[in-house]
Structure formats: structure tokens, C-alpha cells
Structure 1
Amino acid sequence: MTFEQESEPYDVLVVGGSGVDTTVRVDALPVPPADTHGVPAIREDAGHTGTGVALGCATLGLTTGFVDFLGDDHPGTLVRERLAGSGVDFHPLISPHGTRRAVNLVSPDGRRMSFYDARDPLDLRMPPEHYLPLLRRTRHVHLSITHFARFLYDDIEALGLPVSTDLHDWDGLTEHHRDFALRSDLVFLSTVGAGERISSVMREILRDGRAEAVIATAGAGGAYLLTPEDRTPRLVPAAVPPGPVVDSNGAGDAFTCGFLYGRRRGRDLEECARLGAVAGAYACTAEGTHNALVGRAALRAVLSPSPPPSVPAAADAQVSATGA
């Protein structure tokens, strides 16, 4: 079941990144060696990055599409049930390889360690006839770093659409992420993978790619914003969560949603990052993945009083020109 909005263009089309998370709460990370650990009730939720961005954007009132491969299996059913009635217009293709999975170990302070089962073979491709009609009615594309999604860049660029991506814990070296890093207009990543090298990795993305901004999230340490006009990354302080931090799963995805919401409202990059920080903090207050989605009221409370016109006008014109 999908939420159909055929007469209305998408504010955001999310490509790839659906799946199911199994969350196991542990006493500490790393987990001490032992044959057996007793744990609280194990959760199983529709999750992963694409699902989170799609749900978060829809909750913020952005018209949201989502396209991906999904297995004809129990995890696939969980994803469909989670998206049904959410406002996300979901267009899945059945993959014989099944639905992606992850097992997330979460400590009492909300930190997590994730074990990711990607499943997709390297030769998996999405047929253009499935995704092109969706691209043509889109103002902005967000690509998850699933392998098949990289092959949509040529069509996205031909349509003149802005595109964002989240590299997650990229260390700046792994080749899988490089196309996404260098061919996106907004690049999100966390500081975890690159560590002390994060500033140089951010500068390399700007120097070698097409990004207008690179944003590195650092959990409770806030986030860092780098644009071509900056000599060094700007610190964006972390927002205060509205409740106790219990689970950081999905916080980065929520940050992306807050940021994209700001861009659709015409806000500058630093204000978008502040909105992302609020959304990310909110996501940490519920167990499981994508179970605390920030609404517009919480973000409007931190907006400056006089918003400029909505952007990007060029993308709006592109949607009109393609008959969406």
C-alpha cells in the first residue's frame, strides 16, 4: 500500500536505504567477552537510513517519495507496514535477495554498534522506467549509499536536480563512498570514521567534488559545517534533547531531515544545520529506530522570524518543465 500524490511534485525523493533493525540493549560497549549475555526484550523495527529520511521528511510536511528494492519476506512486510499511512509515497521493487537487515547493540547511554547485512549484489540495478517518472516530479533527491543508487547520478544531473547523500562513518578512503561524496550538492557524514582527519576529509570533498556544503555530525559534540567560503569547519552546537537520551539510532537521519526542511524553507546553511541538530536530538529520546520523529512546531521554535523565499527556484522550474 502506498500513499499516492500523483498530482503533486515531491519536495524530496529518497532513493534506497530501506531495511529492518534488530535492537539489542547491552550493559556496555564494547560488550565484554562471554558465551551468553542476558538482555532486555529485543526489538525489531523497520529502520535504516532511507526509511528514516523518508519518514522524517514526511513528518515535517515535506511531500516525500521513496523508491527502493525490498524483499518479499517478513522484514519487507515490516517496512511496508511502517510506511503505510505515513505520508510517504513508497514505490518498491521486489528483490530476490531479500530485505536488508541490521543488528544494533545499544548501551545505556544511547551509543550503538551496528552490524549491517546489505544483501544487494553488486550487479543489482534499478530499471530507469521505474525511477525516471519519479525523478521528473522531484525538487530534490536524497541518495542513500546503497550500491545501485550511484547509477542514478547521470539521470539526476541531466534533469538539473540538487542531490544530497549521507556517507555515515566514511573514513575518506573507502572507494564505495567516493562517487556519492563527489557528485552530491549536500554531503552529510559523521566524524566517527575519519576521527581527527575529519577536517581534511571535508575539505577534500569540497575541493574534488560539487558540494555546496559538507556537514559532519559529532553526536553530543554537535556538528561541523564547511562551505567553499570557510577556511575551517564551523561548529554547530548540539541541541538539548527534550528528554533522556536512550538510543542514538536514527539521529543522523533525523539531522538530515531537519537540514532539508530548512533548505526547502529557504534558510541559510548554518540555520539548516541548527534545525538538523534539533531533529537529531529529538530522535535520541525513544528506543528503536525512527520512533521519535520531530514535528514542524519544534523546528519553527528555533527559526529566525523573517524567512527568505523558498528555494530552490531552479528545481521548482525543472519540475514544472517536466510536467509534474
Structure 2
Amino acid sequence: MTAHEGAIDVLVLGGAGVDTIVYVPELPLPYADSYMIDSGIRTRAGQTGDFVALSLTSLGLRTHHLDLLGDDPEGDLVRALHRKRGIGFTALPQPAGTKRAVNLVGPDGRRLSLYDTSRAHPDDRFPEETLNTLATASRHVHVTLTQPCSHALPALIETGVPLSTDLHDWDGENPYHEPFALAADVVFLSAAALTDPERTIRRIAGRGRAEVVVATAGADGAYLLADGELNRVPAADPPAPVVDSNGAGDAFAAAFLYGRLMGEPPQRCALYGAVAGAYACTVPATRAEAIGRDELLARADRTRP
């Protein structure tokens, strides 16, 4: 499938796949020969790139997704999700098959993810012409950590299109993440594995191109570095009971980018992110659902700045 005609607001690069969701009685899960899973074990389309693309589309942005995808039942699930939600999708052949993972979700909504790394190869590449055509037709490109995105970074920088990335639970040291951190204009990451979030945030901005760095901290809100100033962003109140943290970071990033593309200041963008992330925590991981623009704006207006 090729890109829609006309301008793209956000091109999402990589991160297409399927997750198998298992609700477990507790995390960490004690060893046992077997567990009875009364809530069911469900496989659905949606990994980080899919959820960012879904969230952006739900907010009214013209979104296109580019990734490698297998000719397999899992790939069919991903294609069907994009068709159903009206997300533009360029799916290139992946002989190794569609990316997949197993997510164990505890009663408090925390998750443990098991990623199948056999579904990608370090030498995977996006065709240069395809990448350049889609990137130059876009106002912004969001780059996931998955292969073959790392190889695409030099070409993306060359286009001059603004870039964002999500480093997820980077510890500030793993060398795989660093090229993404230093190439992006907007960097998202989780503070979960950081012993000194401020140090890591300032290091990213000091060594790379980032104008904005956001480190999310769950119920403790987020750290926002913009214009050289570090501020704390309060967490937003979820609109319903928290059931699952899957996709909260993707929702935060998408809503922040929505605000940025609308010309909002960073603090307002971060408020949008907090509201969208809180909403995502109320949606079971077995469903692919994101907050809409009207609800995001209404909830943001009711939340303290």
C-alpha cells in the first residue's frame, strides 16, 4: 500500500506487530507448573508504532505508518487494524515474519513484555526511495527503536524534517539507543530505569539535537526539559479505574506531538500527553483504543496547568 496523496502530518517509522496479552495474578509471577487464565489469552495487533499511529489518527492528524511486515496471520492482523482505523500504511515484505511479543499484565496494570527478537535482522533496511518520498511529504517523523529504523536516521536527518523518538525504558547507557537519542528533535523516554533522570535528560539535550526531552514517570508525572529549563509535569487523573499501562507512553508521545504540531508551548503539549497517557491506562490491553481530540482538549482544559 502506498502513501495517501497530499501532505502527511506524521510519518511513524517502525514498531508494527502483534502482542499476546496474558493477565496474571501477580508480577513477578512465582514459578508454578501451570496457571489457569480465566480472563483468556488474546492476541491482537498493536505494538509501539501501531499505537502511536492509532493515537495520532484518533487526534485528527493525517498519519502514515511505514514498516516491514510478514506474510503471515500476524501481519494480516496488523493490516486489518490499519484498514479499520483509516491509517495509511506502507507494509514492506519481512521474510522473518511479523514482530510479536507476549505481555504479562498484573492486577495493578503493570506489565512484563517478552519480545521475539527473531522477527528482525540487523541488516534490515527501508528502501531509500520509499523512505525519502514519505519523509519529505511529512511535517514530522516519529521513529521507533525497532529495526530497521536505526539505519534510517542519517537519511532522515538529511531531509530536514523534524524527528521524534521514544527510548522507552532506556537506562541511559545502552549504546543501541544513543543514535536515536542524539538524532531526534523531541525525545521521549521512561524514567523507570534512570537513577538520575535530570542528568540523563540534560545529557541527551547537551549532546544531541533535542529541543525538548520528556521523561515520563507514571503516577509521578513527567520531567520536561524545554528551552534549557527542567520542569515537573503532574500526572493527570485517569477518567476510570487503571487496568493496564500498555500503550500509555505511546499515547503520551502522540498527544504531545499533536500539541506541538498545533503550535502549543511545551508545557501545554506535556499536559496533553499526561491526559492521553492517563486515559490509556484505563483501556485493557486487549483493545486498541485511543483518546479522541475533543475529549483530550476538554480534559486538558479541566486539568490544572
Q: TM-score, normalised by structure 1?
A: 0.89
Kept after mapping to 2: 8 A contact 1:3/1:88: no
1:286 to 278, 283, 286: 283
Kept after mapping to 1: 8 A contact 2:3/2:134: no
Partner of 2:150: 150
Partner of 1:215: 214
1:159 CA displacement: 1.8
Output the CA distance in 2 between the equivalents of 1:297 and 1:159. 33
Kept after mapping to 2: 8 A contact 1:18/1:70: yes
Q: Show CA shifts across 1:30-70 (max 9, x none).
A: 00121111112011111111000001101100000110000
Partner of 1:11: 9
Q: RMSD across aligned C-alpha pairs, in angstroms?
A: 1.6
Gaps of 5+ in 1: 306-324
Output the CA distance in 1 between the equivalents of 2:221 and 2:72. 38
Partner of 2:177: 177
Query: 1:114-193 counterparts in 2 under 5 A?
Result: 114-118=113-117, 119-193=119-193
Query: 1:1-324 counterparts in 2 under 5 A?
Result: 5-6=4-5, 8-39=6-37, 40-118=39-117, 119-194=119-194, 196-230=195-229, 233-288=230-285, 291-302=288-299
SS of the residue corresponding to residue 88 of structure 2 reads strand
The amino acid that maps onto 1:248 is S
Percent identity between the aligned chains? 50
1:155 CA displacement: 2.2
1:287 CA displacement: 1.3
The amino acid that maps onto 2:85 is S
The amino acid that maps onto 2:267 is E
Q: TM-score, normalised by structure 2?
A: 0.94
Output the CA distance in 2 between the equivalents of 1:208 and 1:286. 37
Output the CA distance in 2 between the equivalents of 1:37 and 1:201. 40
The amino acid that maps onto 2:47 is H
1:3 CA displacement: 8.6
Q: 1:218 to 1:211 in 2, by over 3 A?
A: same
SS of the residue corresponding to residue 31 of structure 1 reads coil
Output the CA distance in 2 between the equivalents of 1:142 and 1:54. 9
Output the CA distance in 2 between the equivalents of 1:290 and 1:201. 33
Kept after mapping to 2: 8 A contact 1:52/1:290: no
Moved more, 127-136 or 262-271: 127-136
SS of the residue corresponding to residue 8 of structure 2 reads coil
1:290 CA displacement: 5.8
1:5 CA displacement: 2.5
Q: Show CA shifts across 1:186-231 (max 9, x none).
A: 000001122x22221111101111100110111111111012421x
Q: 1:93 to 1:3 in 2, by over 3 A?
A: closer
Output the CA distance in 2 between the equivalents of 1:301 and 1:100. 36
1:153 CA displacement: 2.1
Output the CA distance in 1 between the equivalents of 2:46 and 2:72. 15
Output the CA distance in 1 between the equivalents of 2:2 and 2:238. 31
SS of the residue corresponding to residue 138 of structure 2 reads coil
